[in-house]
Amino acid sequence: MEIWINPACSKCRSAISLLDAEGAEYTVRRYLEDVPSEDEIRDVLGRLGLEPWDITRTQEAAAKELGLKEWPRDETSRERWISALAEHPKLIQRPIITAEDGTAVVARTDEAVRDAMSR
Protein backbone atom coordinates (compact mmCIF):
# COMPACT_ATOMS: atom_id res chain seq x y z
CA MET A 1 0.00 0.00 0.00
CA GLU A 2 1.25 3.47 -0.87
CA ILE A 3 -0.06 6.82 0.33
CA TRP A 4 0.44 10.04 -1.59
CA ILE A 5 0.75 12.89 0.89
CA ASN A 6 1.57 16.51 1.40
CA PRO A 7 3.04 16.65 4.94
CA ALA A 8 1.52 20.12 5.44
CA CYS A 9 -1.99 18.68 4.97
CA SER A 10 -3.95 17.84 8.13
CA LYS A 11 -5.97 15.13 6.32
CA CYS A 12 -2.70 13.48 5.25
CA ARG A 13 -1.30 13.58 8.77
CA SER A 14 -4.54 12.14 10.11
CA ALA A 15 -4.45 9.29 7.58
CA ILE A 16 -0.81 8.49 8.47
CA SER A 17 -1.69 8.50 12.17
CA LEU A 18 -4.53 6.06 11.61
CA LEU A 19 -2.37 3.77 9.44
CA ASP A 20 0.28 3.79 12.16
CA ALA A 21 -2.27 3.16 14.92
CA GLU A 22 -3.60 0.17 12.98
CA GLY A 23 -0.10 -1.17 12.33
CA ALA A 24 -0.55 -1.00 8.56
CA GLU A 25 2.41 -1.52 6.25
CA TYR A 26 2.71 1.27 3.71
CA THR A 27 5.12 3.50 1.88
CA VAL A 28 4.86 7.27 1.80
CA ARG A 29 5.11 9.25 -1.41
CA ARG A 30 5.51 12.97 -0.96
CA TYR A 31 3.94 13.69 -4.30
CA LEU A 32 4.95 17.37 -4.37
CA GLU A 33 8.61 16.28 -4.31
CA ASP A 34 8.27 12.93 -6.13
CA VAL A 35 5.83 14.17 -8.76
CA PRO A 36 3.72 11.48 -10.42
CA SER A 37 4.06 11.14 -14.18
CA GLU A 38 1.07 11.39 -16.48
CA ASP A 39 1.10 7.59 -16.76
CA GLU A 40 1.06 7.23 -12.97
CA ILE A 41 -1.84 9.67 -12.75
CA ARG A 42 -3.73 7.68 -15.41
CA ASP A 43 -3.04 4.49 -13.44
CA VAL A 44 -4.28 5.98 -10.16
CA LEU A 45 -7.38 7.37 -11.88
CA GLY A 46 -8.11 3.89 -13.21
CA ARG A 47 -7.65 2.42 -9.75
CA LEU A 48 -9.89 5.10 -8.26
CA GLY A 49 -12.51 4.76 -10.98
CA LEU A 50 -12.50 8.56 -11.31
CA GLU A 51 -11.74 11.22 -13.89
CA PRO A 52 -8.94 13.78 -13.45
CA TRP A 53 -11.37 16.60 -12.67
CA ASP A 54 -12.75 14.46 -9.81
CA ILE A 55 -9.38 14.62 -7.99
CA THR A 56 -8.49 18.21 -8.85
CA ARG A 57 -8.30 20.83 -6.13
CA THR A 58 -10.01 23.64 -8.02
CA GLN A 59 -9.58 26.21 -5.25
CA GLU A 60 -5.77 26.18 -5.49
CA ALA A 61 -4.09 29.29 -6.92
CA ALA A 62 -2.71 27.29 -9.87
CA ALA A 63 -6.21 26.07 -10.72
CA LYS A 64 -7.49 29.61 -10.77
CA GLU A 65 -4.54 30.77 -12.89
CA LEU A 66 -5.20 27.97 -15.39
CA GLY A 67 -8.96 28.64 -15.38
CA LEU A 68 -9.71 24.99 -14.61
CA LYS A 69 -13.29 25.68 -13.57
CA GLU A 70 -13.97 26.64 -17.18
CA TRP A 71 -12.30 23.58 -18.75
CA PRO A 72 -14.63 21.02 -20.31
CA ARG A 73 -15.05 17.84 -18.33
CA ASP A 74 -15.25 15.34 -21.15
CA GLU A 75 -13.21 12.61 -22.82
CA THR A 76 -11.61 14.99 -25.32
CA SER A 77 -10.30 17.18 -22.46
CA ARG A 78 -9.14 14.32 -20.22
CA GLU A 79 -5.49 14.42 -21.32
CA ARG A 80 -5.34 18.19 -20.81
CA TRP A 81 -6.48 17.69 -17.21
CA ILE A 82 -3.95 14.89 -16.64
CA SER A 83 -1.15 17.09 -18.00
CA ALA A 84 -2.19 19.90 -15.66
CA LEU A 85 -2.08 17.55 -12.66
CA ALA A 86 1.39 16.32 -13.62
CA GLU A 87 2.67 19.86 -14.17
CA HIS A 88 1.02 21.24 -11.01
CA PRO A 89 0.92 18.35 -8.49
CA LYS A 90 -0.46 20.64 -5.79
CA LEU A 91 -3.75 20.35 -7.69
CA ILE A 92 -4.03 16.63 -6.86
CA GLN A 93 -6.50 15.84 -4.10
CA ARG A 94 -4.89 14.18 -1.12
CA PRO A 95 -4.23 11.81 0.46
CA ILE A 96 -4.57 9.01 -2.05
CA ILE A 97 -3.99 5.44 -0.89
CA THR A 98 -3.31 2.70 -3.40
CA ALA A 99 -4.61 -0.53 -1.88
CA GLU A 100 -3.07 -3.96 -2.24
CA ASP A 101 -6.01 -5.27 -4.28
CA GLY A 102 -5.21 -2.85 -7.12
CA THR A 103 -7.78 -0.24 -6.19
CA ALA A 104 -7.25 3.19 -4.64
CA VAL A 105 -9.16 5.65 -2.46
CA VAL A 106 -9.05 9.36 -1.78
CA ALA A 107 -8.55 8.95 1.97
CA ARG A 108 -9.89 12.21 3.39
CA THR A 109 -11.86 10.44 6.14
CA ASP A 110 -11.03 7.75 8.69
CA GLU A 111 -13.64 5.54 7.01
CA ALA A 112 -11.84 5.83 3.65
CA VAL A 113 -8.49 4.97 5.27
CA ARG A 114 -10.03 1.91 6.94
CA ASP A 115 -11.63 0.95 3.63
CA ALA A 116 -8.21 1.01 1.93
CA MET A 117 -6.69 -1.08 4.74
CA SER A 118 -9.42 -3.71 4.36
CA ARG A 119 -8.77 -4.24 0.64
The question of whether 12 is a catalytic residue gets the answer no
| CB proximity list for 35: less than 8 A, separation 6 or greater | 86, 89
Report the distance separating Cα 8 and Cα 45, nearest Å.
23
Of 1, 9, 35, 62, which residue is the catalytic one? 9
If phi > 0 it is left, if psi is from -120 to 50 it is alpha, else beta; for residue 24 that is beta
Phi, psi of 27 (to 5 degrees): -115, 150
Report pLDDT for 80. 98
Report pLDDT for 77. 97
Per-position pLDDT tens, the chain of length 119: 999 999 999 999 999 999 999 999 999 999 999 999 999 999 999 999 999 999 999 999 999 999 999 999 999 999 999 999 999 999 999 999 998 899 999 999 999 999 999 98
